[in-house]
Amino acid sequence: MQYCPRCGTKLGIKSDGGRDRSACLADGCGFVHFGEPSIGCGAVVLRDGKVLMIQRGLPPRGTWQIPGGFVEVDEHIHSAVEREVLEESGVVAQMEEAIGFRYQAQVHPDRPNSNIYMVFRLLPISGEPNHDGEESLAAGYFSLEELAQMENVQGLSMWAIQLALSAPKGAGLVMHKADGTVLRPGGSLFGLGVDISP
């Protein structure tokens, strides 16, 4: 990034938070470039002891994985994971709980970025797996035995599947309701499935 996305001024370098960062030095702007963080989500959808998998149509093409993708900036994360399942597999599913996450820092001199990938357990509601021909080339429910015989199964997906199969329901983070004193408008709040009301 060479120019300020707020005012268009050429970016300079400013010390902020103990680091030199790209920043706008124009009076009154205050923009600091903290990199390009992103949030992704993945869905472990279990039905009759089998897990929903899709074969990627996008690079790395042909890889088998759980449905998932990026969370849009104006989207709640639980809505994003439900949307990704529907888009990639044709299955309507409902988020039950967050079961894990992966954090990945990637530092490129010209484009610093990082990613958090949240993994959720979802309950299938309706629909049969069907690929969309773009993001997914195939979709279906597979047993662990079937997955073991398949080629190009993503390691992160296998980690998520094992986690979902090993952890009892309710062991993960569930969505909590909160008033305006805890959560800003547009936010989602997840915590352990315990009652903390006074």
Sort residue 138 into left (φ over 0), alpha (ψ -120 to 50) or beta: beta
Q: How confident is the model at residue 28 (pLDDT cuts 50, 70, 90)?
A: very high
Average pLDDT score over residue span 159-166: 95
Average pLDDT score over residue span 26-31: 94
Question: Measured between alpha carbons, how far is 95 from 169 in angstroms, rounded to an integer?
Answer: 12
Give φ, ψ of 27 to 5 degrees. -60, 130
Do 97 and 170 form a contact (C-beta atoms < 8 A)? Answer: yes
Q: Which token pair is 94?
A: 């409902």
Cα dihedral sign, 158-52-84-99? negative
DSSP one-letter code for 1: -
| Higher pLDDT pick, 158 / 187 | 158
pTM of structure: 0.86
Residue 198: pLDDT above 70?
A: no
Q: How confident is the model at residue 193 (pLDDT cuts 50, 70, 90)?
A: confident
Which residues lie across from 52 on neighbouring strands? 141
Q: How confident is the model at residue 149 (pLDDT cuts 50, 70, 90)?
A: very high
Q: Which residues contact 29 (CB under 8 A, 6 or more apart)?
A: 4, 6, 7, 9
- What confidence score (pLDDT) does residue 34 get? 84
Do 193 and 175 form a contact (C-beta atoms < 8 A)? Answer: no
Average pLDDT score over residue span 70-90: 96
Quickly list DSSP for 125-191: EE------SSSEEEEEEE-HHHHHHSSSB-HHHHHHHHHHHHSPTTSSEEEE---TTTS-TT--EEE
